[in-house]
């Protein structure tokens, strides 16, 4: 089955700097890659996703890139703000009816 | 209010007791999921359901039982709780299994003594 590895497990950046979180997956059939953000005491929430027919997707300060050949995808957050501090999870799925497989999460701290 | 709710939010129980965690969603989403979140393990799928009366095992189903008699409810039962089941449990719902956003509940923090 699918295996998703996520790095780093913790990341600290200065406010205004960029943050990058990377994930690799094992199943070449996977074609949907969402990113979830979990704030303290809450459930995860979808922030951006990408499908295998797209190499990059942006939404304001966040972007996701996908390299299907290398089987890895990354989350990029620019101009980080304190409210970006949270745990971020990547995930992968190979089909509509196949459950998502999540990475182990990255705790991002933005230092003011 | 519309959305997905979990109850209780906090639960302390003893080893060997039966515990049921409740999950309710108001969107009429077909799919519902139960995850557990543990430090160092991220989110691990316990069980999921594609529709009423249809359930499937996830990555870590042992020790858990689910049912789904109504589309909006998806209770998770620990038949005989063990200390290793101490965790934060999240319920989620979605229009499809994976291609659409999963909406997570606020979580239930379960402690088994």
**Tens digits of residue pLDDT in A47-101:** 999 988 889 999 999 999 999 999 999 999 999 999 999 999 999 998 777 889 9
* pLDDT, position A65: 97
Q: Does the CB of A93 have a partner CB in chain B at under 8 Å?
A: yes
* pLDDT, position B108: 98
* pLDDT, position B65: 98
Phi/psi region, residue B106 (left: phi>0; alpha: psi -120 to 50; beta: rest), is: alpha
* pLDDT, position B40: 85
Residue B112's φ and ψ, nearest 5 degrees, are: -110, 115
* pLDDT, position A43: 96
* pLDDT, position A34: 95
Q: Does the CB of A53 have a partner CB in chain B at under 8 Å?
A: no
Instruction: Say whether A99 and B99 touch across the interface (CB within 8 A).
Output: no
Residue B53 CB neighbours (<10 A): 11
* pLDDT, position A95: 78
DSSP secondary structure string, B3-15?
SEEEE-SEEEE-T
* pLDDT, position B74: 98
* pLDDT, position B99: 74
Give the tokens for residue A112.
């003011």
* pLDDT, position B1: 57
* pLDDT, position B2: 67
Give the tokens for residue B42.
């991220």
Q: What is the pLDDT of residues B20-79, one digit of tens each?
A: 999 999 999 999 999 999 988 899 999 999 999 999 999 999 999 999 999 999 999 999
d(CA A21, CA B99): 22
Distances B18 to A2, B25, B28, B63, B90 between C-alpha atoms, Å: 32, 23, 28, 11, 18
Residue A101 CB neighbours (<10 A): 25
A95 contacts on B by Cβ (under 8 Å):
97-98
Cβ(A10)–Cβ(A109) under 8 Å? yes
Three-state DSSP at A70 gives coil
Instruction: Say whether B98 and A96 touch across the interface (CB within 8 A).
Output: yes
What percentage of chain A exceeds 70 in pLDDT? 100
* pLDDT, position A1: 84
d(CA A33, CA A48): 9
d(CA A93, CA A73): 13
Cβ(B87)–Cβ(B37) under 8 Å? yes
* pLDDT, position B94: 93
pLDDT classification of A111: cutoffs 50, 70, 90: very high
Cβ(A94)–Cβ(A29) under 8 Å? yes
B101 contacts on A by Cβ (under 8 Å):
34, 46, 49
- Find the radius of gyration of the CA atoms of chain A: 13
Instruction: Say whether B98 and A104 touch across the interface (CB within 8 A).
Output: no
Parallel, antiparallel, or unpaired: how do β-strands A10-14 and A106-111 relate?
A: parallel
d(CA A36, CA A75): 10
Give the tokens for residue A39.
């704030």
Instruction: Say whether B96 and A96 touch across the interface (CB within 8 A).
Output: yes
């Amino acid at each position: 089955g699918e295996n998703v590895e996520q790095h780093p497990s913790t990341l600290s950046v200065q406010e205004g700097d960029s943050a990058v979180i990377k994930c690799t997956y094992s199943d070449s059939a996977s074609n949907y890659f969402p990113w979830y953000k979990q704030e303290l005491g809450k459930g995860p929430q979808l922030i951006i996703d990408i499908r295998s027919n797209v190499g990059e997707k942006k939404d304001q300060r966040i972007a996701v890139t996908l390299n299907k050949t290398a089987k890895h995808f990354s989350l990029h957050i620019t101009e980080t703000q304190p409210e970006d501090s949270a745990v971020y999870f990547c995930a992968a799925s190979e089909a509509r009816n196949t459950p998502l497989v999540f990475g182990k999460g990255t705790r991002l701290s933005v230092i003011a | 209010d519309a959305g997905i709710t979990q109850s209780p939010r906090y639960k302390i129980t003893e080893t060997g007791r039966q515990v049921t965690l409740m999950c309710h969603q108001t969107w009429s989403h077909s799919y519902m999921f139960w995850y557990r979140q543990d430090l160092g393990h991220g989110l691990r799928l316990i069980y999921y359901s594609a529709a009423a009366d249809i359930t499937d095992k996830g990555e870590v189903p042992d020790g858990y039982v689910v049912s789904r008699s109504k589309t909006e409810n998806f209770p998770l039962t620990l038949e005989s709780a063990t200390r290793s089941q101490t965790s934060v449990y999240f319920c989620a719902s979605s229009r499809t299994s994976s291609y659409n956003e999963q909406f997570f509940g606020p979580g239930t923090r379960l402690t088994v003594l």
